[in-house]
Amino acid sequence: MNKPVFPSYQELLNEEAVSVPDALRLDTQPNIANDIIATDVWTDRGVFEKEVEHLWPKVWQMVCRETALTKAGDYYVYDIARYSILLVRTESGELKGFHNSCLHRGRALKSGKGTSRELRCPYHGFCWHLDGSFKEAYCDWEFDQAQLAELTLPEVQVTIWGGWVLINMDLEAPPFEEYTSVLTEHFQRWTPEDRYVSLHVEKKIACNWKIAMEAFIESYHAIQTHPQILSFTGGDNSQYDVFGDHLSRTITAQGIPNPGQADRYSVQESVEAMTGPGGFERAQELTGLDADTITSRQAIGAVRREEFAEFMSPEMLATVTDAETMDSILYLV
């Protein structure tokens, strides 16, 4: 069957009134084969165990914001599969990550988050300094003193990017900036280090982790799963990119109806589905364009800029594209 003709995402960017950032102009057009993937990838316990052994210990993972570890003794525990990592702010101000396991009998040293002057095992009391060096053990005369002195907690790689604390259990893994290709460059414009956590929401889902994750790297499911957003989500206009071995991107245009259903919605319906009642008229006031000439993306962009003026500098506001005010731009590491 022939593919219908509708604007690509890059063609939508051609309508922007301001300069489009180079990051958005990248279009890698990956040549991905239409091979059938066996369902074992999502359902087989053996595949899962291979991921536990070969994937999670080798990849960079986001743990928390640096603001969770501001003063000496602050700690934060990150658990993934069978691994537990203990992040600690040392007395010198350094941020370190250790395998969260007592070197005596394997008991977890800490749980959750908090502040402590030392890392003492709650089982037999073996204790380490905040920098991971051995401090003391009860009845230490029962142990070889040289061996005790060598009981330094095994470390993991720790880095900070954009205010986020990230870890990699593989000490030989490439640095985060190298591992993630263009990611840090693409986000530099948005100074992620200035962001803060206003709300944390966590939900447990009874499924393989890839099932949950994959919904956020494609827009194909929106037509059936989210019909209520088709008036303002151009899933068919989506662009998919791959950057190196560890980074992909999904961009889905907002502010336009999905091309396959475009004849069902007026410009006003598309605009007010995103902005609420009255948004279409407000956009005309802001842009000076009338109802017959204003596009839905122009209208939504104008309303969004008015909202963004509360927290965005005038200089940034003057350069932000309509795309950046509304589109779904998702990166996966």
With contact defined as beta carbons under 8 Å apart, do 286 and 301 qualify?
no
pLDDT band (50, 70, 90) for residue 2: confident
- Structure token pair of residue 122: 């709650």
Q: What average pLDDT does the chain have?
A: 95
pTM: 0.91
pLDDT in tens, 50-65: 999 999 999 999 999 9
Under 8 Å CB-to-CB from 200, ≥6 apart: which residues?
Answer: none
What number is the average pLDDT over the span 217-240?
A: 94
Q: Is the pLDDT of residue 3 over 90?
A: no
Q: What is the pLDDT of residue 74?
A: 99
What number is the average pLDDT over the span 133-156?
A: 93
What number is the average pLDDT over the span 230-255?
A: 96
Topology of 61-172 in CATH? Rieske Iron-sulfur Protein (2.102.10)
Q: Which range has the top average pLDDT, 143-147, 153-157, 304-308, 311-315?
A: 153-157
Q: What is the pLDDT of residue 130?
A: 99
Q: What is the pLDDT of residue 30?
A: 85
| Closest residue by Cα to residue 119 from 93, 95, 90 | 90
d(CA 239, CA 218): 9
Domain ranges of the chain: 9-31+203-332, 61-172
d(CA 322, CA 303): 10
Q: Is the pLDDT of residue 66 over 80?
A: yes
d(CA 107, CA 111): 11
Residue 302, phi-psi category: left (phi > 0), alpha (psi -120 to 50), beta (remainder): alpha
